[in-house]
A and B are shown apart, each in its own frame.
Chain A
């Protein structure tokens, strides 16, 4: 009896730094051991995947990389997977960001996927013909509104300073209304919510979003009527990578091309720890209540 009392007392005053240490170990150990995890697709993710599969080759896709390093852990793998899928289906891609801090992440997406994986071979992706980097458009949500009426009003030149009129990929493209699909891996403001409000819903432009876990519940009401697809957090990114891996196993079944699947292992162990902590916390709570009631 006395030993159990001691344990309860100790748990009541447990220094939170022990919990920090447990969390660090739960995440670090699977990384060091190389434990990953794949995912089975949920309907909102699969719907976007299917839409990209169904669109005819050469469809115009606007990819809005609206995130910064704070949310890159969840959204960068998504941006890579969406871009890969667009390239595999030979769609024309229009990269843009409304986040000033998102520009290097946008550049990294283009370099990692379009230039490194699809920039060579028989039909290389060519800048200005198959894709364009519109870069940063200033004005937050108002910039999205600008893009819906005239892209050239928001930016007359691309990221390299080339006039948009001299790029073949911009022929017959005036505004977002000329796009077949808008995809936005996005976090915070402006993000998927603003793309729904300022572009998708008022102009009936098909729109799909990838979002962080934090933001996801705010976007659920838009799906499926106002969003074609919704990819949620690292799980969603993992689902998308797993679907790409099963449809295009060479080379996308390789773990080196699946950053979200690599993060699946640590995620799993950290969730187990969280569940254990909640259960343990409540066990302590009920034990304390029992002790108080038995004492009185």
Chain B
């Protein structure tokens, strides 16, 4: 019972999506399922927020190492939710709606929630990703070694593409005679980069894509047929 009903739900809705793709008569059912999907994932997200709070509250109550950071996380979470749901600093967009103080967009420029996005969220997440520029440089220096044929291919391609992604690819024209019309439009690195992109890189990725597609199709089919129930977790 505990696993039969969910398997039936998954199969029913899954096969519905498949049949609706081929049958316009079932379109309304597909649209309803898609609508419900958004609602259910939203509630799941609230559940996720709640478990995050429980996790950090437990860390604080157990006085685990770094519990102070958990308190900061909880505080940031609480402030963001309150500020966003109360639409602090947001004004109605049109005169008609002036007597509806909560009618303005919650992310309105100048509002408190927008401020959090603009000056807290945006700079921090983008800087965290920018850190990778440094680590990738360090990795290139330490680990990118021509140890065998495969590594040489990887390395040489990376060098060609790195050079080909900026105007420096035109430097190679300095070593070549000018074209008959005097132009310097013959860019071997640019041509080579484009050739690699069009042929070998595309082909390698295409092979991966075909393999992944087959994997996704097989897994989906196993889920819909009830053969794969791992997503339901262990017995409870």
Contacts and interface: CB of A to CB of B under 8 A. Distances in A.
Contact of A138 (B38, B93, B162, B209): B38
Instruction: Bin the interface of chain A by size.
Output: 35 or more
Given A220-B201, A220-B202, A221-B209, A19 B137 contact: yes
Contacts of B146: 282, 285
B8 to A, nearest CB: 21
B166 A37 contact: yes
Given A220-B205, A278-B155, A19 B125 contact: no
A273 B201 contact: no
A169 B202 CA distance: 39
A39 B167 contact: yes
Interface string A146-168: 10011001000001110000000
Interface in B201-224: 201-202, 205-206, 209
Instruction: Bin the interface of chain B by size.
Output: 35 or more
A87 B176 CA distance: 42
B197 interface: yes
B138 A16 contact: yes
B118 interface: yes
Contact of B137 (A22, A161, A202, A218): A22
A138 B109 contact: no
Interface stretch (A52-60, A64-72, A78-86, A116-124): A64-72
A205 B141 CA distance: 45
Contacts of B140: 274, 277-278, 281
Central interface residue in B34, B93, B123, by most chain A CB within 10 Å = B34
B202 A277 contact: no
A245 interface: no
A42 B166 CA distance: 12
Contacts of B159: 275, 278-279
Given A104-B107, A282-B144, A37 B167 contact: yes
Central interface residue in B118, B121, B123, B205, by most chain A CB within 10 Å = B205
15 contacts: A19-B138, A22-B137, A43-B194, A69-B123, A72-B122, A101-B121, A104-B107, A138-B42, A139-B34, A142-B37, A150-B31, A221-B206, A268-B168, A271-B163, A285-B145
Interface of A: 14, 16, 19-20, 22-24, 27, 37-40, 42-43, 68-73, 101, 103-104, 107, 111, 135, 138-140, 142-143, 145-146, 149-150, 153, 159-161, 202, 217-218, 220-221, 223, 233, 235, 264, 267-268, 270-275, 277-282, 285
Interface of B: 21, 27, 30-31, 34-35, 37-38, 41-42, 93-94, 97, 103, 105, 107, 109, 114, 117-118, 121-123, 125-126, 129, 133-134, 136-138, 140-147, 155, 158-159, 162-163, 165-168, 190, 194, 197, 201-202, 205-206, 209
Among all A-B residue pairs, the 9 with the closest Cβ atoms: A139-B38, A69-B122, A221-B206, A277-B141, A268-B166, A16-B138, A220-B202, A69-B126, A138-B38
Given A101-B117, A160-B105, A278-B140, 20 more contacts: A19-B137, A22-B137, A43-B194, A68-B125, A69-B122, A69-B125, A73-B126, A104-B107, A104-B117, A104-B118, A139-B41, A153-B34, A153-B35, A159-B105, A160-B94, A161-B97, A202-B21, A220-B205, A268-B166, A279-B159
